[in-house]
Structure 1
Amino acid sequence: MNRPAALNRTLLALIGLVLLAAGGFALATHFGRLRVLDPSAPLVPGDAPPPTWVFWVAIAVAVLLGLLCLRWLAAQAFRRPKTVAWRSDGTTGATVLDSATAAAPFAADVESYEGVRTASAWLSGPREAPELLLIVTTDRDTHAAAVRERVAEHAVPRLRQALEVDTLPVRLEIRLTAKSGVRAR
Structure 2
Amino acid sequence: MNRPAALNRFLLAVLGLVLLAAGGFGLATHFRVLRLVNPEAPLVPGTEEPPTWAFYVIAAAAVAVGLLALRWLLAQLAHRPRRGVWRFETDPAYGRTELRADDAVAPFAEELRGYPGVHKASASLAGTRESPSLALILTCEQDADLGEIRGRVTGESLPRLEEALELKDIPVAIEFRFTGRAASRVG
TM-score (norm 2): 0.56
Q: Identify the residue that residue 159 of structure 1 maps to in structure 2.
A: 161
The aligned amino acid for 1:160 is E
Partner of 2:84: 84
Task: Go from structure 1 to structure 2 and tell me whether the alpha carbon gap of 1:79 and 1:128 turns closer, same or farther (over 3 Å shift).
Answer: same
- Percent of aligned pairs with the same residue? 41
Question: Is residue 129–residue 165 contact of structure 1 (8 Å, CA) maintained in 2?
Answer: no
C-alpha separation in 2, matches of 1:77 and 1:126: 21
> What residue identity is the alignment partner of 2:120?
T
Question: Unaligned 5+ residue runs, structure 2?
Answer: 1-45, 50-68
Alignment of 1:6-25 (within 5 A): none
Name the Cα RMSD after superposition: 3.2
The yes-or-no answer on 1:129 pairing with 2:134 is: no
Give the SS at the match of 1:104. Answer: helix
Measured after TM superposition, the shift of residue 173 of structure 1 is: 0.8
> 1:112 maps to what in 2?
114
2-structure distance, mates of 1:151, 1:78: 27
Alignment of 1:41 with 2:43, yes or no, is no
Residues 122 and 133 in structure 1, CA contact (< 8 A), matched pair in contact too: yes
Superposed CA deviations along residues 30-59 of structure 1, whole A, max 9, x for unmatched, are xxxxxxxxxx7257xxxxxxxxxxxxxxxx
Q: Are residues 157 and 145 of structure 1, via their aligned partners in 2, closer, same or farther at CA, if it must alter by over 3 Å? A: same
CA displacement at 1:76 relative to structure 2: 5.6
Which segments of structure 1 move beyond 3 Å, counting only runs of 4 or more? 75-81
Q: How many residues matched? A: 121
Matched-pair contact (CA < 8 Å) for 1:138–1:174: yes
Q: TM-score, normalised by structure 1?
A: 0.56
Are the structure 2 counterparts of residues 78 and 179 from structure 1 closer, same or farther at C-alpha, using a change threshold of 3 Å? Answer: farther
Residue ranges of structure 1 left out of the alignment (5+ in a row): 1-39, 44-68
